Structure 1
């Protein structure tokens, strides 16, 4: 017991210390946990005395991790996913798996006869890190962009794919049709039981204990462990049971409360899980480094081979097709989980798991750096792809070519975000003749397609590039409206953009938005004729709302808003 407490304390202190250091240098804390485990384990300083006990505790962390992942899988969002996300995700997952299995078999890794290293590595290479991707996209404020939504959609469907793989994983050594059908029947029984209990029993119980936080926590853990043991009884994995337990709760109102209660406990055990994985990483050998290099190179190359082509074929443009491929170019935490399950099941050797852990560390660092500079990378790649013959959305038809060559738009919207979407909708509602005088410059393929279909002039291009502005004809426009806030602009700011516009067109009226009050004077100094300060517009409306509340007229004001929203079809809803 004393050894156990000492080992847990040592692992926790080491993980926290290295985690703080990782945050200071901008790296994922998971890397710190793996490095900490390596240093404490038999390949490092050999400080941990009871690695088997840590392994048991880390398995609990794995179960809680999968439970939380299940809670975060929104089946309704998967069902509502558009054709672009579903097709691109299917191509990426199936393509990576097929290419991966073939590639690793060519390298001499086994596939069958009780050894499934090539299959596990192929599946592991098809998964990307939700933790790393969401953090970087959140920091860059790109979660709500088209490439961000495509990336997140693919990640969600990757999680769904893992559920299917875990369903057949226990039967890999005897994978006959009859055995597969039995496995699927067991999965069906597990899922049906979980859904029925979570639909008809758990809501009543959780409602009764909602005011007792400790019982909510214990109830969530009891449900997770009960479903895990039910999966074990059905000869499935405990890990799959935990995942199903989470998914069965994900669409219900108390899911958020359960997640909030379990998160802190999960974080502790998950920390020990990744430290435990780090302990199993041996001192690198030439063969292990060779496999790790092959896995890393394949992961990056396969993302571009399986993600870019379907998105490009779906007419998303070069930029929106490249960015998800860059975002997804790393291994997932789930890859480590799957390899750990494979080792425990006796399906793979420790070399494959060690190589995957090493590759995860390297790719996490590389991909974090690449995602932070993804727009610069895309700006370099797009001209190269055009030179080899790939056409972008700015090269797709005579109508657009005529617009860009002759300019001719009196009013030009530079960038197209929510404010611009509402402006177009208001002008359409008023049947305003001004619409025929407007042209939009933006590189969002959805905007390009929808505006073109509605007859509005649209030019596909990056407003951060001077060549785009000149080619689009901003030099002849009378009014130039910058409609995108600074935090969404790529490679430029509104102040820089205004200076460029004023240099190209000294006579035009330029309107630009200010994120901060201190930006107003800078924009005027740069050459803007009017600065939009949205916070002041919103505060004016809030003042009016307070007055209507005092006058008992809030329902009337809300009715006015409802009438404006009725039958309103914006490009960016």
Structure 2
């Protein structure tokens, strides 16, 4: 058995075992992968001694896993670039830019003087500030995507912030090797080189790869292979230009983001990415065998978990965003970045930072990754517990985005527009009945306002938004959001309301539906059961008539195209 195979096999087996145990107790999987990395070395050694496998006893160098993990980060950023729709963050580009910039400046103002007091140079303090300012594109976007929060206002701001941070990282990575001879000319040269790299990759993608992709799209395997080729070509070009392979992969993803077959590319790429990402987390765990300087660790954690999110919250608060949007943005970005682990070794090689900082930054990255896997999962509940104590955030109710201020009552309120809500709103329009729509997707709100549909932006997990809904004195509230906590909050508020409200809510699981009925919901819809009943009705009524089924098919295609056009506008 080859050492490389033995190391990878041990990582995958341990990750699967610990992941299974974490899943059984309904915990995030990320800590399981890190734990596998922590234990892989000792377990391989013990296995070799127990079974007398000599080469496993001497297999102490697993650094190749770290090299493989960098490929995983590159694949992740390639997929992030593919899924990045810059036009969707245009409305929050200024807030995103300021959320990326202001905390970086604040952290620099604190860290640089402290670094100089400990004997480091101002340059070291500046780069340490950058290392602590960046948040993790890999962790945050994956967790928010899993929770379906990327389309929300705070999700858009977070995505834009991470994008701006990535561009700052490009500049930092370009300038770092020659920083000791820093000059304005060097900075300009680095910026021009980075701009040339981006323009070159985008131009080659449009002129060469896009036409080739159109041909390759006829074969899913060839399309996947061509996409991998673009990723590796861009990553290699970035490395030759003095950048990291991760930056090249990210730019490659952005250059292919407008292709119509993007969903298939992403679907094919995800299993490959996930495999290498597991190795990345395991490599993080493997970096914990050395004893860190705990004073450094606690200091860095204070900056990342307290100073950075506070600066982000206050920035958004001053820009006019609500308390919940400001809070959720800040806490979701309270971790260090995978780019930090790229910057630190380069800074150490350039004699800018001491070697002891590598272990401390690795541990801080690991701890903040683990904490984020829980904080992002329970961010709404944490906000509910702390919202009355967030006195430093002044805008308690409305986002700057929200411009709907009418006090006119509505007989019906629709919570959640996309998918199920589209048909409900259409039905109300056809019957000329007015209904107020509540949604947390800024693009949806913008489109509905353009169509003169009464609507407000709001996250239903925020009690302040729910309070606002009931001030419209609705007789019927329809929730298409299959979130148990959200629907329980609506039921609780309905019980407190002075007027009677009929509640129609949605659940994903039978257990949740029964619980909502017990709490007082008037009707609970389970989309899968309703869809099954509807399809069975079509089969029984029209299944024997090809003519009727063909007519239904034509009408269905027409409706799907109408919805698709509506969503794309």
Worse-matched range after superposition: 163-172 or 519-528? 519-528
- The match for 1:487 among 466, 477, 482 is 482
Cα offset, 1:253, TM superposition: 4.8
- The match for 2:152 among 120, 145, 153 is 145
* Paired residues of 1:110 and 1:117 also in contact (CA < 8 A): no
- Structure 2 residue 494 is matched with structure 1 residue 501: yes
Counterpart for residue 185 of structure 2? 178
Cα offset, 1:153, TM superposition: 3.8
- Structure 2 residue 323 is matched with structure 1 residue 318: yes
Aligned pairs, number: 550
- Structure 2 residue 386 is matched with structure 1 residue 353: no
* Paired residues of 1:484 and 1:513 also in contact (CA < 8 A): yes
Worse-matched range after superposition: 90-99 or 33-42? 33-42
- The match for 2:332 among 321, 327, 333 is 327
Cα offset, 1:121, TM superposition: 3.1
Cα offset, 1:266, TM superposition: 4.9
Worse-matched range after superposition: 9-18 or 289-298? 9-18
Counterpart for residue 195 of structure 1? 202
* Paired residues of 2:458 and 2:465 also in contact (CA < 8 A): no
Deviations 1:124-150, CA, capped at 9 Å, x for gaps: 323333444345445544444333343
The 1:463/1:347 distance shift into structure 2, 3 A limit, reads: closer
* Paired residues of 1:57 and 1:269 also in contact (CA < 8 A): no
Counterpart for residue 413 of structure 1? 413
Worse-matched range after superposition: 546-555 or 159-168? 546-555
* Paired residues of 1:307 and 1:325 also in contact (CA < 8 A): yes
Q: Distance in 2 between matches of 1:7 and 1:524?
A: 51
Q: Distance in 2 between matches of 1:428 and 1:537?
A: 23
Q: Distance in 2 between matches of 1:268 and 1:83?
A: 35
SS of the residue 1:284 aligns to: coil
Question: Structure 1 regions of 5+ residues with no counterpart?
Answer: none
Cα offset, 1:176, TM superposition: 1.8
SS of the residue 1:513 aligns to: strand
The 1:154/1:456 distance shift into structure 2, 3 A limit, reads: same
Cα offset, 1:295, TM superposition: 1.4
Deviations 1:404-448, CA, capped at 9 Å, x for gaps: xxxx84725374544667666765677x4x54xx77788999999
Matches within 5 A, 1:210-249: 222-249=229-256
- The match for 2:85 among 77, 81, 94 is 77
Deviations 1:348-394, CA, capped at 9 Å, x for gaps: 33322211221122223333333333223222333234598655339
Counterpart for residue 376 of structure 1? 381
Q: State the TM-score, normalized to the length of structure 1.
A: 0.74
SS of the residue 2:312 aligns to: helix
The 1:206/1:10 distance shift into structure 2, 3 A limit, reads: same
- The match for 2:548 among 550, 553, 557 is 550
SS of the residue 2:504 aligns to: strand
Cα offset, 1:74, TM superposition: 4.3
Counterpart for residue 59 of structure 1? 67
* Paired residues of 1:228 and 1:242 also in contact (CA < 8 A): yes
The 1:414/1:188 distance shift into structure 2, 3 A limit, reads: closer
RMSD of the TM alignment (CA)? 5.1
The 1:19/1:451 distance shift into structure 2, 3 A limit, reads: closer
The 1:448/1:226 distance shift into structure 2, 3 A limit, reads: closer
Q: Distance in 2 between matches of 1:234 and 1:466?
A: 51
Counterpart for residue 51 of structure 2? none
Q: State the TM-score, normalized to the length of structure 2.
A: 0.74
Cα offset, 1:324, TM superposition: 1.8
Matches within 5 A, 1:86-101: 86-101=93-108
The 1:384/1:264 distance shift into structure 2, 3 A limit, reads: closer
* Paired residues of 1:65 and 1:270 also in contact (CA < 8 A): yes
Question: Which structure is larger by alpha-carbon Rg, 1 or 2?
Answer: 1
* Paired residues of 2:75 and 2:273 also in contact (CA < 8 A): no
Matches within 5 A, 1:439-518: 472=470, 480-485=475-480, 487-488=482-483, 490=485, 492-493=487-488, 497-498=490-491, 501=494, 504-505=497-498, 508=500, 510-515=502-507
Cα offset, 1:62, TM superposition: 0.9
Q: Distance in 1 between matches of 2:520 and 2:351?
A: 69
Matches within 5 A, 1:262-277: 263-277=270-284
The 1:48/1:334 distance shift into structure 2, 3 A limit, reads: farther
Q: Distance in 1 between matches of 2:97 and 2:107?
A: 15
SS of the residue 2:476 aligns to: strand
SS of the residue 1:372 aligns to: coil
Matches within 5 A, 1:558-573: 561=559
Counterpart for residue 133 of structure 1? 140
* Paired residues of 2:33 and 2:278 also in contact (CA < 8 A): yes
